A and B are shown apart, each in its own frame.
Chain A
């Protein structure tokens, strides 16, 4: 059974700092990995998706990397801003045909201090 872990559970950093969020998964047979952002009481916003054959993806100040063999992904946020404060979730999709569900971690709650 796939298990996804995100450490730390919460993180506070001063505005302007670069930061890294971590995600690990137990079964390396994944189809893709997706990073989401969730504001309090809201739905999920997709940030980046990395296919199993890729090593990284970038969007603006965000960069996500994937090391499938070690079961790890990181989300790097450059030059953090107060508006980046949210919970960040990673989710993996298994590689076997017909297995469509995403398995989520419990998230990292990020607070950017102005």
Chain B
């Protein structure tokens, strides 16, 4: 399968713990995006990378959130001191510069107890 992959698919954690998610984009795609989706809503943009550079961050991305893409390949999204309001599906997407749309992974479902 050469699509976008995400790991883990599900994560249950207790409030206050740190969690880290990984995204592997389609191999030739240089752009990578993170979105968050809560129940009954459309995905909301969090941040995006072109190669290893983080070019835009949403104000939704509080200082407890950090994303990296160290070698321009896979990306990680870390949430520190999780809160119940962080419970959501975290979606990763990738694309080519000037390419035809964004392609999404299966998502990581986070539940904060």
**Residues of chain A at the chain B interface (Cβ within 8 Å):** 4, 32, 34, 36, 41-46, 49, 89, 91, 98-107
Contact = CB atoms under 8 A, between A and B. Distances in A.
Contact of B104 (A32, A43, A103): A43
B33 interface: yes
Nearest to B95: A100
B106 A49 contact: no
Given A32-B101, A34-B101, A49-B101, A103 B45 contact: yes
A74 B55 CA distance: 32
A41 to B, nearest CB: 7
Contacts of A99: 56
Interface residues of B, number: 27
B42 interface: yes
A106 B42 contact: yes
A49 B104 CA distance: 14
Nearest to A100: B48
Contacts of B4: 43
Contacts of A45: 104
Contacts of B104: 36, 43-46
A41 B55 CA distance: 29
B31 A44 contact: no
A106 B40 contact: yes
Contacts of B105: 43
